[in-house]
């Protein structure tokens, strides 16, 4: 499909819809897709209507199941849907109705995991394009320090750093703001500090031990910060 249209559809919470509106919108969606074939239909947050069906008691459940049934019907009627590809996204594939996942419907699942270090660097470049940084800030170093961060986490990181820089009267983000933002995202807001000198010393010895072991272990990532 070198040249095709892309239709993006997001399901609203069924309880907020009037009866039959969801099913009607699904019919309209596939009608437009057929008229514009070849076409990719992308359904975001499909778990809003695609959850495992229950007893059907309650208006919200009834409306959701009507919408789901219409979606299943449209996907079954693909004789005239040549050139239409349907893709859906969800963070909860485990709760989807089994009828959605049978062969001929959403039978191929692709897991989109959190980005690797290269992916994090590319994402950071996008969100850093409209911000000013001091010369001591390296996006590659930030990528190394943020394993497990999603794209949203990385965007939030730079946003937090920009807010901190503004509060401190700076015109550019420095490594100090980056450090503090990473700590805030990973460990949360700063809590009550320990006033007991002995407790502080014990924690310091413990953390320094981690740092020494990491530094002396061949192939271990370089120690960036000891807290």
User: Cα(76)–Cα(56) distance, rounded to whole angstroms?
Assistant: 22
| 190/225: higher pLDDT | 225
For range 177-191, the mean pLDDT: 80
Q: Is 14 domain-assigned?
A: yes
Q: Are 123 and 115 in contact (CB under 8 A)?
A: yes
Helix runs in 80-174, H state only:
117-128, 139-144, 151-167
175 and 89 in a single domain? The answer is no
End-to-end, the C-alpha distance of the chain in Å comes to: 52
Band of residue 60 on the pLDDT scale cut at 50, 70, 90? low
52, 75, 101 - which closes a domain: 101
Catalytic residues, by residue number, are 207
- The larger pLDDT score, comparing residue 80 to residue 177, is at 177
Are 13 and 90 within one domain? yes
How confident is the model at residue 36, as a pLDDT?
84
| DSSP class per residue in 189-204 | S--PPP--HHHHHHHH
| Assigned domain for 9 exists | yes
pLDDT for the residue numbered 18: 59
Structural domains counted in the chain: 3
> Residue 109: inside a domain, yes or no?
no
Please indicate, yes or no, whether residues 132 and 86 belong to a single structural domain of this protein. Answer: no
**Burial class of 188 by CB neighbour count within 10 A (0 to 12, 13 to 18, 19+):** exposed
CATH of the domain at 175: 1.10.8.60
Residues spanned by the domain of 89: 5-101
**179 within some domain:** yes
Q: What is the pTM of this model?
A: 0.64
pLDDT tens digits for range 82-114 = 788 889 999 888 999 999 999 888 989 999 899
Flag whether 107 is in a domain. Answer: no
pLDDT exceeds 70 at position 189 = no
Q: Are 96 and 129 within one domain?
A: no
In a domain, 110, yes or no: no
Of 39 and 167, the one with more pLDDT: 167
Measured CA to CA, the distance from residue 17 to residue 23 in angstroms comes to: 10
**69 within 8 A of 49, measured Cβ to Cβ:** no
């Amino acid at each position: 499909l070198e040249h095709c249209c892309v239709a993006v559809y997001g399901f609203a919470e069924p309880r907020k819809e009037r009866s039959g509106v969801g099913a009607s919108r699904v019919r309209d969606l596939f009608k437009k897709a057929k008229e514009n074939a070849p076409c990719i239909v992308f359904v975001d947050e499909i778990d809003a209507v695609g959850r495992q069906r229950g007893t059907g008691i309650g208006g919200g459940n009834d409306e959701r199941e009507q919408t789901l049934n219409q979606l299943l019907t449209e996907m079954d009627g693909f004789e005239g849907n040549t050139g239409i590809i349907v893709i859906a996204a969800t963070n909860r594939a485990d709760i989807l109705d089994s009828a959605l996942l049978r062969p001929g419907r959403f039978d191929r699942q692709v897991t989109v995991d959190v980005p690797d270090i290269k992916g994090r660097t590319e994402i950071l470049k996008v969100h850093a394009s409209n911000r000013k940084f001091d010369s001591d800030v390296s996006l590659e170093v930030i990528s190394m320090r943020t394993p497990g961060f999603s794209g949203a986490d990385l965007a939030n990181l730079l946003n937090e750093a920009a807010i901190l820089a503004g509060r401190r009267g700076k015109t550019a983000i420095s490594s100090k703001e980056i450090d503090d933002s990473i700590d805030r995202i990973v460990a949360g807001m700063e809590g009550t500090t320990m006033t007991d000198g002995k407790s502080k010393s014990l924690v310091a010895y413990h953390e320094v031990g981690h740092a020494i072991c990491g530094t002396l272990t061949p192939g271990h990532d370089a120690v960036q910060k000891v807290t």
